[in-house]
A and B are shown apart, each in its own frame.
Chain A
């Protein structure tokens, strides 16, 4: 989904790096092969990125400037409008902002504004990630039932962390698009909690 914007802007000192938070390279492979990316397209079975950047759902995007500084903290954006009916998010808002930043037409957030929009990990978030880490280690060793216990514990500790609650479904024999996911999502949304939390400007609210 991001290949076309990469193609468009790559000669302006810009690169796209996509990271699949999947249980195996084979789970991500069909998506990657269909997209045919010429930018780095990486696999993250251990959720290294989620741990380092406090990623709690997908898609999550960040902008990093030439000096290696985060200038747009965790935000929600899609590369295309395939899921627009489900998500209510218009991909063109973020794409326009991204183009303007890369072309130097509009600066990204200054440090204070970037910090003000960050969501930082709580003690419970980190406990949940430890449970995920143990579960994932057990899963790699074929200890699937034991792994599931820790994935479930992690999800209970951080109910907003869908990289754990939904992302581990394929490791628990659950269809991540199926009735159990829909029930979880329904309950979440019914409680007035948003499944996607875009920053104000990309959501079109700013």
Chain B
């Protein structure tokens, strides 16, 4: 089995690994929520066109790096550890930050209790990132 971490969630998929290249089975692609159709790479009825020079489907399966390229998302792969991480595109992050809407998040405190940023709507917030290092 191969693990693809997508949007923070680890999915177990069947895949063929060749060097640094990872080929997903059709079921693996579906596990990540995607289907390849003539109109493109589709999820929930929405399709992203795939340009002719990108081959997602190969004889060995659906190439993960090609999938990431079509989605315009960064991909980190560890073939030896059978794991990969699909990140978030610079474009998506840029659009979100340019809107100036503070991205929402939920994080735990020391006791494990979750806190959500947007629960403090209506107040002025000083948000501080720090670390012990």
Interface residues of A (CB under 8 A from B): 1-2, 5-6, 12-22, 25, 27-32, 40-44, 46, 48-55, 58-71, 73, 79, 98, 101-102, 111, 114-115, 118, 120-123, 125-127, 129-131, 133-135, 137-138, 143, 146, 149-150, 153-154, 163, 166-167, 169-170, 176-177
**Judging by beta carbons under 8 Å apart, are A134 and B5 in contact?**
yes
A177: chain B residues within 8 A (beta carbon): 133
Residues of B within 8 A of A29 (CB): 110
A sample of 19 cross-chain residue pairs with beta-carbon separation below 8 angstroms, ordered by A number, consists of A13-B122, A15-B123, A17-B115, A21-B131, A42-B108, A59-B129, A60-B128, A61-B126, A61-B128, A61-B129, A63-B125, A63-B126, A67-B121, A69-B102, A70-B101, A123-B74, A129-B88, A130-B87, A133-B76
Residues of chain A within 8 A of B76, CB atoms compared: 127, 130-131, 133-135, 150, 153-154
Is chain B's binding surface mostly helix, strand, loop or mixed? mixed
Contact B110 A64 (CB under 8 A): no
Contact with B93, one of A54, A114, A153 (Cβ below 8 angstroms): A54
A97 to B5, CA, bound (A): 41
**Number of interface residues, chain B, beta carbon within 8 A:** 50
Contacts of B132 in A (CB 8 A): 20, 22, 27-28, 30-31
Residues of B within 8 A of A21 (CB): 129-131
**CB neighbors of A among B66-122 (8 A):** 73-78, 80-81, 83-90, 93-94, 96-98, 100-103, 105, 107-110, 115, 117-118, 120-122
Q: Is the CB of A130 within 8 A of B74?
A: yes
Contacts A15-B123, A17-B127, A138-B78 aside, 6 further interface pairs with beta carbons under 8 A come to: A16-B126, A67-B121, A120-B93, A120-B97, A129-B88, A137-B85
User: What's the minimum C-beta distance from A105 to chain B, rounded to whole angstroms?
Assistant: 13
